[in-house]
Chains A and B, each alone.
Chain A
Amino acid sequence: DARVTQTPRHKVTEMGQEVTMRCQPILGHNTVFWYRQTMMQGLELLAYFRNRAPLDDSGMPKDRFSAEMPDATLATLKIQPSEPRDSAVYFCASGLVGVSSNQPQHFGDGTRLSIL
């Protein structure tokens, strides 16, 4: 079965450090999503790309977060500088998305980020 692959699975780092999370979407999917989830909150959409073009990153703190999709097989989410409140699980998902209907999204295992 095709899977979304995320790296790293876990990341512990000190406040102020740069964090880069990577995602390899399922081949053939046209849309990639980045979500964040904390213990207290549901899934929070940070940004998403359709055919590698950023469609919406309004859910992302612009001053420290950036998301890119340099090619069809790689999406990245960077935090610089990181802060303790960024500690969460970050999920990447991919899917086939259209104007009026969507196929379901498939998720990676997530990156568990702890900022000390």
Chain B
Amino acid sequence: RKEVEQDPGPFNVPEGATVAFNCTYSNSASQSFFWYRQDCRKEPKLLMSVYSSGNEDGRFTAQLNRASQYISLLIRDSKLSDSATYLCVVNRIYQLIWGAGTKLIIKP
């Protein structure tokens, strides 16, 4: 079992819809959680950190469920520009462990 697992997708979603994806992690000692976004052949960019109480940044909401060991990302009112691969990242001692990413395609 991988340390960080994501559904690879692709998720095909109409513009304006709400989409959510989860990411599960196996290390119960993990303390830091992030969502990154990666556009095709470009560098991953930090989308948002994930805090214990959940947090929101505009149309994006991230949540952490420690009991079930997963984090989630919700995107409301999706835009064409949201099309990308979303990477879930969880810390281990001295490094971050990356999920393989979930591909999101927003259709007009």
Contacts and interface: CB of A to CB of B under 8 A. Distances in A.
A52 interface: no
Contacts of B94: 31, 48, 50, 55, 97-99, 102
Given A91-B43, A100-B31, A105 B101 contact: no
Looking at chain A's contact residues, the main secondary structure is strand
Interface string B24-67: 00000101101010000111111001000000000000000000
B70 interface: no
Contacts, number: 61
Q: How large is the interface on A (under 10, 10 to 19, 20 to 34, 35 or more residues)?
A: 20 to 34
Contacts of B96: 95, 97, 102, 104-105
Q: How large is the interface on B (under 10, 10 to 19, 20 to 34, 35 or more residues)?
A: 20 to 34
7 contacts: A42-B98, A42-B101, A97-B95, A97-B96, A101-B32, A106-B46, A107-B45
8 A-B pairs closest in CB distance: A107-B43, A42-B100, A101-B31, A102-B91, A101-B32, A102-B32, A104-B46, A43-B98
Interface of B: 29, 31-32, 34, 36, 41-46, 49, 87, 89, 91, 93-96, 98-101
Interface of A: 31, 33, 42-43, 45, 48, 50, 55-56, 89, 91, 95, 97-110, 112
